[in-house]
A and B are shown apart, each in its own frame.
Chain A
Amino acid sequence: MGWQWFHRLGSPRWFYEKTDAWMPWLAVVSVALLVIGSIWGLGFAPADYKQGNSYRIIYIHVPASFLALAGYYTMAISGAIGLIWKMKLAEAVVKCAAPIGAVFTFIALVTGAVWGKPTWGTWWVWDARITSMLVLLFLYLGVMALQEAFQHQDTANRASAILALVGTVNIPIIYWSVEFWNTLHQPATLKFTSESTIDPSMLYPLLTMIVGFYVFYAWVLLASTRSEVLRRERKTRWVNELAAAKAE
């Protein structure tokens, strides 16, 4: 009985109509949280005594890194669901999650690089975390490229799901080996502010931004999946009726 919603998710139309009401709420909440968090972090949080004002980049760098990784797991889990239950919706999520996750990874990389300039005096450091992020970006790009390469949507779905799953098995190994490689080649002096010692006055805006990024991710992923579902169902009647209704 409790699983009915799960089976209903198999119907693209049910999903599209159900989520219609959620979209404005997700949009308002995420934009509000992001705006409040940014103003709080930029203007009201105290400056770091060591890094000065440059640490304010943390308010986007850390949430973006969280989502870069969480986005990959979202994609891989949807891929597994799509492979096992052949659920159309999960297959659409795999396709949509890849570019979104890649953008978050890109944000994490760019903000990390820009942060490195005032902190370490150089744009690019082969730091363990940054390097792992770069490899994660490559994994995302691989899934996107594979998704694009096939002519049949069905083959593309399943092939990219397999690649996403293989990547998931590898991510912990990659992180661990990059960590090992880093300790070999660099003294562990270059470090971001460790989050455990962060002052509450700096922590609360960070938490606001993290929650804001998560809600934003949910919003964007849903919006993207919704339009992808429409595209895949464009031959059906309900989509055409929807298009006709939008024309008036």
Chain B
Amino acid sequence: MGLESSVTSPTSAEGSLQAQPLITPSIWSGFWATFKRDMLIAVRHRGEMANPIMFFLMVITMVPLGITPEKGILQILAPGMIWVVALLATLLSLDGLFRSDFEDGALEQLLMSPQPLYFQVLAKVLVHWLTTGLPLTVMAPLLGVMLALPAEGFLPLVCSLLLGTGCLSLIGSIGAALTVALRKGGLLLSLIIMPLYVPVLIFGSSAVSSAIEGFPMGGQLAVLGAFLAFAIMLAPIAAAGALRISVNG
């Protein structure tokens, strides 16, 4: 904890009234505390955690039922379909990212804490990704089997989802922060965030389909990685600003 800073009050000159130094926890310990707390809440609500994954599974089941069980067609649809549904599943789960904290007042405490809000938001988004993006990525090969994804497609599917769902959680946190104070924010959240997901979707599904066609997928994955780095840098700033507006407004 090298970043610990102490603030002494101006009255400390008075000999007997020696003020206690005010200890501000370091950025890292603040991040860690939020992360642990949110992780604990998520683990205690295991049922909720399973919902996006069930949604993922069910929608993918609808595809052969709605279009055709023919292998050749499913094969073509698989990369895009899996990516689109992963995107929708993330969107559905995003509404709850800040909502319960907003409703019980924990969010206001977070805003008042001396910690930079950037890292608190980052911790929350990380927990969101660990509880939705990562399980979706782990589930994806199974759905690939169901949609007859060719063998060359599995590795790129997992890699692209691993990078891409991180972007989805980060970008989505901006929308979740903007709509947290609204009673019916869920649908609006999807409306304002979906256009911003276009680049991630394009590069994610194209990595899979170009790998299936025998082209290298490194370029697309590099672009996804760049998106992720960019989103880690900027998205929490925007989300933190949006949270301040939503809570104080």
A174 contacts B191, CB within 8 Å?
Answer: no
* Stretch in A15-23, A111-119, A144-152 touching the partner: A144-152
Known: A146-B178, A149-B188, A155-B245. A167 touches B196 (CB 8 A): yes
* Stretch in A47-55, A178-186, A201-209 touching the partner: A178-186
Interface membership of A99, Cβ < 8 A? no
Chain B residues, CB < 8 A from A173 = 199, 227
Interface membership of A110, Cβ < 8 A? no
Interface membership of A129, Cβ < 8 A? no
* A173 CA / B235 CA spacing, docked (Å): 15
Known: A154-B249, A158-B245, A166-B174. A135 touches B198 (CB 8 A): yes
Most chain A Cβ neighbours within 10 Å, of B198, B206, B242: B198
B249 nearest CB neighbor, chain A only: A155
Range for the number of chain B residues in contact with chain A: 20 to 34
Interface membership of B111, Cβ < 8 A? no
B182 contacts A150, CB within 8 Å?
Answer: yes
B181 contacts A162, CB within 8 Å?
Answer: no
* A159 CA / B188 CA spacing, docked (Å): 13
Chain A residues, CB < 8 A from B50 = none
Interface membership of B126, Cβ < 8 A? no
* A150 CA / B180 CA spacing, docked (Å): 11
A170 contacts B196, CB within 8 Å?
Answer: yes
B246 contacts A177, CB within 8 Å?
Answer: no
Chain B residues, CB < 8 A from A177 = 198-199, 202-203
B241 contacts A138, CB within 8 Å?
Answer: no
Interface membership of B92, Cβ < 8 A? no
B241 contacts A162, CB within 8 Å?
Answer: yes
A166 contacts which of B181, B182, B238 (Cβ < 8 Å)?
Answer: B238
B206 contacts A184, CB within 8 Å?
Answer: yes
Chain A residues, CB < 8 A from B137 = none
A182 to chain B minimum Cβ distance, whole angstroms, is 10
Interface membership of B234, Cβ < 8 A? yes
Interface membership of B179, Cβ < 8 A? yes
B178 contacts which of A135, A162, A176 (Cβ < 8 Å)?
Answer: A162
* A142 CA / B174 CA spacing, docked (Å): 13
B44 to chain A minimum Cβ distance, whole angstroms, is 31
A162 contacts B198, CB within 8 Å?
Answer: no
Interface membership of A139, Cβ < 8 A? yes
A163-205 vs B, CB cutoff 8 Å, 1 = contact: the mask equals 1011101100110111011001000000000000000000000
Known: A163-B178, A163-B192, A184-B206. A155 touches B199 (CB 8 A): no
B226 nearest CB neighbor, chain A only: A173
Interface membership of A141, Cβ < 8 A? yes
A165 nearest CB neighbor, chain B only: B238
Interface membership of B88, Cβ < 8 A? no
Interface membership of B2, Cβ < 8 A? no
B199 contacts A174, CB within 8 Å?
Answer: yes
Interface membership of B47, Cβ < 8 A? no
A162 contacts which of B202, B210, B245 (Cβ < 8 Å)?
Answer: B245
* A124 CA / B123 CA spacing, docked (Å): 43
B184-207 CB contacts (< 8 Å) to partner A: 185, 188, 191-192, 194-196, 198-199, 202-203, 206
B121 to chain A minimum Cβ distance, whole angstroms, is 14
A97 to chain B minimum Cβ distance, whole angstroms, is 17
B202-249 CB contacts (< 8 Å) to partner A: 202-203, 206, 210, 227, 234, 238, 241-242, 245-246, 249
Would you give 30 A-B contacts (Cβ < 8 Å), ordered by A?
A135-B195, A138-B194, A138-B195, A139-B195, A142-B191, A142-B195, A146-B188, A149-B182, A150-B181, A150-B182, A154-B249, A158-B249, A159-B245, A162-B174, A162-B241, A162-B242, A162-B245, A167-B195, A167-B196, A169-B234, A170-B195, A170-B199, A173-B199, A176-B199, A178-B198, A178-B202, A180-B202, A181-B202, A181-B206, A184-B206
Residues of B bordering A, CB below 8 Å = 174, 178-179, 181-182, 185, 188, 191-192, 194-196, 198-199, 202-203, 206, 210, 227, 234, 238, 241-242, 245-246, 249
Q: Across the A-B interface, give the 10 residue pairs with the lowest CB-CB distance, nearest first.
A: A155-B249, A142-B192, A177-B199, A138-B195, A181-B202, A158-B245, A177-B202, A173-B199, A139-B195, A135-B195
